[in-house]
Amino acid sequence: MLKKIIVLGIVVVILSTVAFIMMNHYNTKRVAVEKIEQYIEKQKIPKENIYNESFTWDWENSGHYIKQFKVKDDDSGITYQYSFIAKDKPIVFIPYTSTAFEVKVKYPAPEIK
């Protein structure tokens, strides 16, 4: 009987830990999506001009949530990339292209006040 209680206790602790980790992950992802969308709104990029959109969690390298897309009325070689590091950190905007080191985009980073 004691063994069953110990095994049940261990199972409950493991399931609770897994549930906590999953809830934390999905909550952080929700915050990342919200903060990145707010940043994009400040850039005034029309939603209908966004294509090739992706949102990923870079769990292998940085642990950041990353959103990437292209903009119809900008150079087709430019990819707009946004990185969410943490709730209390600003969004990192990194436009990139394979043809230039410094990228000039139609929708630059908004001024921080």
Spatial distance between the Cα atoms of 20 and 62, rounded to a whole number of angstroms: 21
pLDDT of 113 over the 70 cut:
no
Residue 37 clears pLDDT 80, i.e. is over it: yes
Q: What confidence tier does 32 reach under pLDDT thresholds 50, 70, 90?
A: very high
Q: What pLDDT is attached to residue 9?
A: 93
Higher pLDDT, 58 or 111: 58
pLDDT above 90: residue 112:
no
pLDDT tens string 78-93: 999 999 998 889 999 9
Question: How far, in Å, are 10, 17, 36, 52, 57 from residue 61 at the CA level?
Answer: 32, 23, 20, 22, 10
